């Protein structure tokens, strides 16, 4: 039976979950996959955490050379998060010919070309299933199950924190600040929630998934990003009146050119992604032959994410030749490959004074910039004689919409453009 030594860099939440699966399922994996996987070393400062997990102190240290110089360790799993020291340790392991498995989407998305090159030069594998959507096997689906398709689009709820917040706001009418505080208390959001609520986490995952799907690297600076911190319950409620559900989506499309963006989106209630609640994740993929597919499950957590890590460990251990998902053929995206301006439908809420002719003036401004209106909701004036008007447009360009809104802000009687949310079919 093939025996493979594994090292773990850190045993925090996901690292601990991975250790638990690898130890408890060791015999199961031997029976089903014919591979004996042994955790041979753990790099961890927190000895209390190691004791809690029942890790033999003899295999715990803080010296990376105990891993890089051990010829029996073939696979290294990284759980530190952040850029450093994760990047440096991964590079050391790759240079030592060790295959690396990581869930670190920020470090990986920012340093992918460098890590890929080092892995190739040292005949090492590079695996990252757990970097996107936790325990949902979206990476293997894109690389091993979609070969007969040109992937044309990806739409994903890829951040559990924001989906929890938006679900609570929608279902219970609770404001953003309260939902964020509750998410932090439940451990769904960090003390500093910026990475989640401002869309950075989803942007990292959008880069990875888009690059895999389109066989061209989609760097972070090509992805439009907008978070959820400005979302109001009233807009969610107006969206409900129009038959929409609000989600933060990572969206990429590959028709004539590639476009990639992360922002709040109104989806029709009947869209499969609209029913994804709480901290769950889902990715909706369209291939030119297979049509629409949706992958759904837990996007975070010790055991779900650990499950994805172990999947990569078993996959890597079974290979006679280290695999890097055929990345030799993947090239950086040139400006000519990328859509500089995307098109969308739009939800717009404008606050106006209750004066005669204001709706006609706003409508004329939209028409001036070729923005066609699909639906209008005009509410009664409040006590201060201001009222909201909600527009939903037909498909138009981002530049046309922004130009129209700038013009509208200058109309006498317009108090503010209070909300702009993109709408996807």
Q: Where are the domains of the chain?
A: 2-135+304-332, 138-298, 343-423
Please provide the distance, in angstroms rounded to a whole number, between the alpha carbons at the two ends of the chain: 51
Beta bridge mates, 161: none
Taking phi first (over 0 means left), then psi (-120 to 50 degrees means alpha), and beta for anything else, what does residue 278 get? left
Q: By the 8 A CB rule, do 354 and 41 touch?
A: no
Beta bridge mates, 296: 282
- State how far the Cα of 241 lies from the Cα of 235, in Å rounded to an integer: 10
391 three-state secondary structure: strand
- What fold, for 138-298? Dihydrodipicolinate Reductase; domain 2 (3.30.360)
- State how far the Cα of 370 lies from the Cα of 354, in Å rounded to an integer: 26
- What fold, for 343-423? Alpha-Beta Plaits (3.30.70)
Which residues participate in catalysis according to the annotation? 205
Beta bridge mates, 144: none
What is the DSSP pairing of strand 280-287 with strand 151-157? antiparallel
9 three-state secondary structure: strand
Give residue 379's pLDDT.
78
Give residue 263's pLDDT.
98
- State how far the Cα of 297 lies from the Cα of 286, in Å rounded to an integer: 18
**Please, what sign has the CA dihedral across residues 304, 306, 307, 311?**
positive
Beta bridge mates, 246: 266
pTM of the model: 0.94
Give residue 381's pLDDT.
67
> Which CATH superfamily is 2-135+304-332 part of?
NAD(P)-binding Rossmann-like Domain (3.40.50.720)
Give residue 314's pLDDT.
96
Q: By the 8 A CB rule, do 218 and 210 touch?
A: yes
Angle at 19 between CA 15 and CA 22, to 5 degrees: 135
What is the DSSP pairing of strand 35-43 with strand 2-9? parallel
What is the DSSP pairing of strand 343-353 with strand 396-397? antiparallel
- The residues near 184 (Cβ < 8 Å, ≥ 6 apart) are 190, 191, 193
Q: By the 8 A CB rule, do 407 and 365 touch?
A: yes
Spans in the chain with pLDDT lower than 70: 324-333, 381-384
- State how far the Cα of 205 lies from the Cα of 131, in Å rounded to an integer: 7
- The residues near 410 (Cβ < 8 Å, ≥ 6 apart) are none
The phi and psi torsions of 4 (rounded to 5 degrees) equal -130, 125
Taking phi first (over 0 means left), then psi (-120 to 50 degrees means alpha), and beta for anything else, what does residue 55 get? beta
Give residue 334's pLDDT.
75
Hey, what are 64's tokens? 């990376």
What is the DSSP pairing of strand 99-102 with strand 126-127? parallel
371 three-state secondary structure: coil
């Amino acid at each position: 039976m093939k025996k493979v030594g594994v090292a773990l860099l850190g045993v925090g939440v996901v690292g601990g979950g991975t250790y638990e699966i690898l130890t408890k399922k060791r015999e199961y994996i031997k029976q089903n996959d014919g591979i004996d996987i042994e955790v041979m070393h753990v790099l961890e400062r927190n000895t209390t955490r190691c004791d809690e997990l029942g890790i033999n102190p003899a295999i715990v240290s803080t010296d990376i050379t105990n891993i890089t110089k051990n010829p029996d360790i073939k696979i290294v799993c990284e759980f530190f998060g952040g850029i450093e020291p994760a990047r440096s340790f991964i590079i050391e392991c790759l240079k030592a010919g060790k295959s690396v498995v990581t869930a670190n989407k920020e470090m990986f998305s920012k340093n992918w070309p460098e890590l890929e090159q080092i892995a190739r030069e040292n005949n090492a594998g590079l695996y990252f299933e757990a970097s996107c959507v936790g325990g949902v096997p979206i990476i293997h689906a894109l690389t091993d199950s979609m070969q007969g398709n040109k992937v044309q689009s990806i739409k994903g709820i890829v951040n559990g924190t924001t989906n929890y917040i938006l679900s609570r706001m929608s279902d219970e009418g609770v404001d953003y600040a309260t939902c964020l505080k509750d998410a932090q208390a439940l451990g769904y959001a960090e003390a500093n929630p910026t990475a989640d609520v401002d869309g950075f986490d989803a942007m990292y995952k959008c880069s990875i998934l888009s690059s895999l799907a389109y066989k061209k690297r989609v760097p972070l600076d090509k992805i439009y990003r907008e978070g959820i911190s400005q979302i109001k319950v009233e807009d969610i409620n107006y969206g409900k009146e129009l038959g929409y559900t609000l989600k933060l989506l990572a969206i990429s499309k590959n028709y004539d050119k590639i476009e990639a963006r992360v922002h709040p989106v109104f989806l029709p209630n009947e869209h499969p992604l609209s029913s994804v609640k709480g901290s769950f994740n889902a990715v909706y993929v369209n291939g030119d032959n297979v049509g629409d597919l949706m992958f759904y499950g837990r996007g975070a957590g010790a055991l779900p994410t650990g499950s994805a890590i172990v999947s990569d460990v078993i996959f890597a251990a079974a290979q006679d030749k280290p695999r890097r998902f055929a990345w030799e053929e993947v090239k950086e995206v040139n400006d000519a490959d990328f859509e500089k301006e995307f098109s969308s439908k739009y939800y717009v809420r404008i606050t106006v004074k209750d004066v005669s002719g204001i709706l006609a003036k706003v409508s004329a401004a939209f028409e001036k910039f070729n923005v066609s209106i699909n639906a209008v909701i005009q509410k009664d004036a409040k006590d201060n004689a201001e009222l909201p008007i909600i527009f939903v447009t037909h498909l138009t360009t981002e530049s046309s919409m922004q130009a129209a809104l700038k013009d509208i802000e200058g109309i006498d009687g317009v108090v503010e453009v209070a909300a702009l949310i993109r709408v996807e079919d």
